[in-house]
Amino acid sequence: MEAKLNSEAGLELQPSQPPRIIVRDSRDVDVPAMLAIYLHHIRRGVESGLDVGDFEPPDAEDLKRRRKNMQQKRKMPHIVAEENGVVLGYAYAVPFRKRPAYRYAVKHSIYVHNDHLHRGLGRRLMGALIDACAAAGFRQMIGYIDGANRASLALHEAFGFRQVGYLPSIGYKFGHWTDTVMVQRSLGPGGTEPPQA
Ligand SMILES: CC(C)(COP(=O)(O)OP(=O)(O)OC[C@H]1O[C@@H](n2cnc3c(N)ncnc32)[C@H](O)[C@@H]1OP(=O)(O)O)[C@@H](O)C(=O)NCCC(=O)NCCS
C-alpha cells in the first residue's frame, strides 16, 4: 500500500498498517518483558495460587537460567509474541513430571500483556506452542487453570483441551479458597502409537 500525500497540510500520511505480530523462540533479552507481564497477572491474582502478601517476585537472573535450561538443554518450547519488536506475551512448556515415564508429557503456561488482551495474541501463542510441542515429539499437554479464569478456560477449550480433573478448594488467595481445573490435550498420534524414541 502506498503512503498518501495530504495536499492541504503538505504532510505525508502513513497508511494504517495492520499490526505485525510475530511469534518466535524467546531470548535472554526478552526476560524483563516476560517478568513484567507475569508480575502484573500475579498481582491481580488471576492465575496464581499465592496471596500477594506471601509473594516473592522471581529474580530475572533466575528466570534467565530456567529459560535457558528448559529451552536449550531440555528442548522445551519457550516462545514470545512480539508486535513491532515489543514482547506482548509468552508461553512455554516444562516437563509434566520429572520421572522418565512421563517424558512425553508437558505442562504449559501462557501469559499476554494486560493492555493487549482480546487481540488474538493468546490464540497465536497457543497455536504455536501446541505445534512446537508436537514437533518436539511430546504426546500430551497438561494445563492447570484457576476455576475462575474464564478467559483461560475458554482459550483452552477452543484449542481442544478437555477437562480431566477438578481440584476443589485447592488454593487460597485474596481471602478465599480457589478451585483448579486440570485440562489435557493430545499431540500428534497421542496415545494411539508408541513413541518414536
Ligand atoms: C488467557 C489469556 C492468555 C488469553 O489471551 P488473549 O490474547 O486475551 O486471548 P485471545 O484474544 O487470543 O482470545 C482467544 C480466545 O480465548 C478466549 N477468551 C479470551 N479472553 C476471554 C474472556 N475474557 N472471556 C472469555 N473467553 C475469553 C476466547 O475463546 C477467545 O476466542 P474468541 O476471541 O474467538 O472468542 C490471557 O487472558 C492472559 O494472559 N490471562 C492472564 C494469565 C493467565 O491466566 N494465563 C493462563 C494460565 S492457565
Per-residue confidence (pLDDT) for residue 4, from 0 to 100:
39
C-alpha cell at 29: 533479552
- Spacing, Cα 81 to ligand 1 middle (Å): 14
**Of 58 and 159, which is predicted with more confidence?**
159
Of 195, 170, 165, residue with least CA distance to 182:
165
Distance 99 CA to ligand 1 centre (A): 32
pLDDT at 175 over 90: no
Give the model confidence (pLDDT) of 131-170 as tens digits: 999 999 999 999 999 999 999 999 999 999 999 999 999 9
Instruction: Give the number of the atom of ligand 1 that is nearest the alpha carbon of residue 118.
Output: 11
Chain centroid, CA 115 distance in Å:
16
Answer whether residue 103 shows pLDDT above 90. yes
Residue nearest to atom 20 of ligand 1 (CA): 151
| Atom 6 (ligand 1) nearest CA | 122
Listed ranges 50-59, 70-79, 125-134; the one with the highest mean pLDDT: 125-134
Pocket of ligand 1 (CB under 6 A): 41, 46-47, 109-112, 117-123, 143, 145, 149-152, 154-155, 158
Q: Is the pLDDT of residue 44 over 80?
A: no
Q: Tell me, what's the pLDDT at 158?
A: 98
Residue in 35, 83, 107, 152 to alter for ligand 1 test, most ligand atoms within 8 A of Cβ = 152
11-13 and 21-25 beta bridge pairing:
unpaired
**Which residue has the CA at smallest separation from atom 40 of ligand 1?**
111
Domains observed in the chain: 21-186 (3.40.630.30)
SS3 128: helix
Written as one letter, the residue type at 110 is I
Cα 3 to averaged position of ligand 1 atoms, centre (Å): 34
Q: In this structure, what are the phi and psi dihedrals at residue 148, rounded to the nearest 5 degrees?
A: -95, 0
Which atom from ligand 1 is nearest to the alpha carbon of 158?
29
The mean pLDDT of 112-134, rounded to a whole number, is 97
Is 6's pLDDT higher than 50? no
The pTM of the full predicted model, rounded to 2 decimals, is 0.89
Residue 53 has pLDDT above 60, yes or no: no
Asked whether 190 and 161 are in contact (CB, 8 A), the reply is: no
Confidence of residue 48 (pLDDT cuts 50, 70, 90): low
Q: How far is ligand 1, taken at its centre, from the CA of residue 151, in Å?
A: 4
| Per-residue pLDDT, 181 | 98
pLDDT band at 5 (very low <50, low <70, confident <90, very high): very low
- Which stretch of 8-22, 31-45, 86-100, 113-127 has the lowest confidence by average pLDDT? 8-22
Pick the atom of ligand 1 nearest to 37's CA.
39
CA 48 to ligand 1 center in whole angstroms? 16
How many Cβ atoms from other residues are within 10 Å of residue 93's Cβ?
Answer: 26
CA atoms of 182 and 53, how far apart (whole Å)? 26
pLDDT, average across residues 97-102: 96
Q: Which residues contact 159 (CB under 8 A, 6 or more apart)?
A: 126, 127, 130, 185
Residue 177 β-bridge partners: 172
Backbone CA torsion sign across 82, 97, 47, 45 = negative
Q: Which amino acid is at 106?
A: V
- Given this model, what pLDDT does residue 137 score? 96
